[in-house]
Chain A
Amino acid sequence: GAGVSQSPSNKVTEKGKDVELRCDPISGHTALYWYRQSLGQGLEFLIYFQGNSAPDKSGLPSDRFSAERTGGSVSTLTIQRTQQEDSAVYLCASSLEGTPSRRLNIQYFGAGTRLSVL
């Protein structure tokens, strides 16, 4: 089936505007992750959702960042009042929630959304 899908692939916005980035995980995957990749850097964890549990928001850099996952499937990452330092590639990944007896939790990544804040 289809892999992780992210939209838009590119987003150019003006400083101070709000943006929404969308992630469609692999069907049936219960865990969904957002990461940020700045130029020349590794991937920085932002937030993850796992089934019906409260999301782990420990990686969100400021209260301008928020995310939601509706119906346990599609997720939206929202950045309010964007700043130039928010420019990066935002990557989404999904995985199956596993148990100790299963090979589990391989994270499959989308191609990302490249955000440019002018």
Chain B
Amino acid sequence: GENVEQHPSTLSVQEGDSAVIKCTYSDSASNYFPWYKQELGKGPQLIIDIRSNVGEKKDQRIAVTLNKTAKHFSLHITETQPEDSAVYFCAASIRGGTASKLTFGTGTRLQVTL
């Protein structure tokens, strides 16, 4: 089955700096890669996703890049703010037009300091 590895496990940046979180996956059939943000006491919330027919996607301060050949994808957050502090999870799944389970990475705890 699919295996997703995520690094780093913790990341501390100063407000205004950029943060990068990296993930690798094992199943070349995976074609959908969402990123979730989880704040304390809450469920994960989707912040951005990318499909394997796209190399990069951007939404304001957040961007995701995908390298299918190397089977890795990354989350980039620019101009970080204290409210970006949370745990971020990457995930991978195979989309064939119907629902399918997500395989998650182990999470990155991002701390944005003033």
Contact = CB atoms under 8 A, between A and B. Distances in A.
B99 interface: yes
A105 B99 contact: yes
Contacts of B89: 42-43
Interface stretch (B12-20, B39-47, B59-67, B76-84): B39-47
Interface residues of B, number: 27
Contacts of A99: 97
A98 interface: yes
Interface stretch (A62-70, A73-81, A106-114): A106-114
Given A42-B6, A42-B89, A42-B107, A111 B99 contact: no
Chain A interface mostly: loop
B7 to A, nearest CB: 13
B104 interface: yes
Nearest to B51: A103
A111 B43 CA distance: 4
Interface string B31-63: 010101000011111100100000000000000
A111 B102 CA distance: 17
The 8 closest A-B pairs by CB, nearest first: A109-B43, A31-B99, A42-B104, A100-B97, A42-B106, A43-B104, A45-B101, A111-B43
Interface of A: 4, 30-31, 33, 35, 40-45, 48, 50, 56, 59, 91, 93, 95, 97-100, 104-112
Interface of B: 4, 6, 32, 34, 36, 41-46, 49, 89, 91, 95-107
